[in-house]
Structure 1
């Protein structure tokens, strides 16, 4: 068998997964009994797996998630109002494909950001583009972009991702520019893409955080009417962890 020329051809064609599979299968004598169709199927499986992994790695890198969280590591034992059945349904990501939103509220330290990042990581695994932003930094970046001509391009970039995570919104009242920024983001994504928002402030107080009644009506109408909600309670999980475990599951 012309092993090396075949490997070279597969690499030249960009079929690196098939090349690895070809090499691995050739190293196992028991695979000699496989027919051509079975060999080809196994090689295609290797190629598909490698491409999916590379796609996930690229999406996760671009997403810039704050926490290295996964849905498998979510803690259901701590009493904080997290409904396991609902969360597992959200972990399937069908709500993102349906262009729905998710609002996560609760006091400081109960795992809002971790849950949002875990769902973001799962979205990347499901081949859904994701972007994570802390709201104060996003507003600051938009303010800079407004001044140097990048504002429209930045809004277009935000609008394109399948899942936008807006973490740590509130409790400060938005200024005029921030209200317009929020309205633009929500309007661009309404019935087109999904948003996760985390906040220490209950949803029924978001109206006053936005400030302007007209803009608040427009934003909340687009955000809330098709949104799932996770309302967490309890004490900060950080108080229950020592420094060696503070970055582990939440």
Structure 2
């Protein structure tokens, strides 16, 4: 009875991991052969693991990554483009802790979004707050926020997010209002947080897409300052997958 009361008290103290581990120990007689310190260590380990899992789940829910990608599932192809050693370095997360930026460019379907989401997932694993947006969607959210009273709160969230992923950068030329909003986001994050930008366009074409030389210069100066760059090449991953599927059907 006392043990069950202890389990209940652990739950009331929000120590669910320890409560679960203690309940399992009570159902496993061989656990009582362990010394008190060993049993306590097991309870603490379970609580730490439980909290880490909850934190990762919460961070991933907030990140809203477009693809459930992980670093371990990335396939490296021979030739120029994505290098294993480069991604291994980025996977440590030191570039985020040092407030560096990252650009990923390459043709449609080459895997930019997958790599971006894999790095976002890795950041969440490391306990770093992450948000994923397609740039057009983010700018639309900001436009709406101007009118419904959420603007200050949204901008604060964006400013405090440790890794902000902006995907599909440069699909459409920006309007004057969109340029201003993007400038505000980038300015608030400059040298304070990290931004990852994925685009079909080479970096040298971003100036034209942003438009208005003065703001374009300001935005790109802040985005590309201390930025790591990945330039992906080769055929579309979607096309290769379709070719493999067709080949399997023929076989």
TM-score of the aligned structures, taking structure 2 as reference length: 0.92
Match of 1:248 in 2: none
Partner deviation per Cα, 1:70-107 (whole Å, 9 max, x = no partner): 11101113656101001011111111111111100000
Instruction: Please tell me whether the aligned partners of residues 169 and 198 of structure 1 are also in contact (alpha carbons under 8 angstroms).
Output: yes
Structure 2 unaligned blocks of 5 or more = 246-251
- How far has the Cα of 1:225 moved from its partner? 1.8
* 2-structure distance, mates of 1:242, 1:214: 44
- How far has the Cα of 1:171 moved from its partner? 3.6
- How far has the Cα of 1:153 moved from its partner? 2.3
TM-score of the aligned structures, taking structure 1 as reference length: 0.92
Instruction: Please tell me whether the aligned partners of residues 139 and 178 of structure 1 are also in contact (alpha carbons under 8 angstroms).
Output: yes
Match of 2:235 in 1: 235
Bigger proportion of residues as helix: 2
- Pairs within 5 Å for 1:21-60: 21-60=21-60
Structure 1 unaligned blocks of 5 or more = 246-250
* 2-structure distance, mates of 1:244, 1:6: 57
* 1-structure distance, mates of 2:131, 2:221: 23
Count of aligned residue pairs for this structure pair? 245
* 2-structure distance, mates of 1:135, 1:244: 32
1:11 to 2:11 alignment: yes
* 1-structure distance, mates of 2:91, 2:225: 20
- How far has the Cα of 1:161 moved from its partner? 0.8
* 2-structure distance, mates of 1:85, 1:223: 23
Instruction: Please tell me whether the aligned partners of residues 170 and 201 of structure 1 are also in contact (alpha carbons under 8 angstroms).
Output: yes
Of stretches 136-145 and 24-33 in structure 1, the one that deviates more from structure 2 is 24-33
- How far has the Cα of 1:33 moved from its partner? 2.7
- Pairs within 5 Å for 1:36-185: 36-77=36-77, 79=79, 81-185=81-185
Partner deviation per Cα, 1:143-176 (whole Å, 9 max, x = no partner): 1222333223221121111110000011432111
Task: Call closer, same or farther: CA 1:79–1:239 in 2, change over 3 Å.
Answer: farther
Task: Call closer, same or farther: CA 1:181–1:244 in 2, change over 3 Å.
Answer: farther
Match of 1:206 in 2: 206
Q: Secondary structure in 1 aligned to 2:56?
A: helix
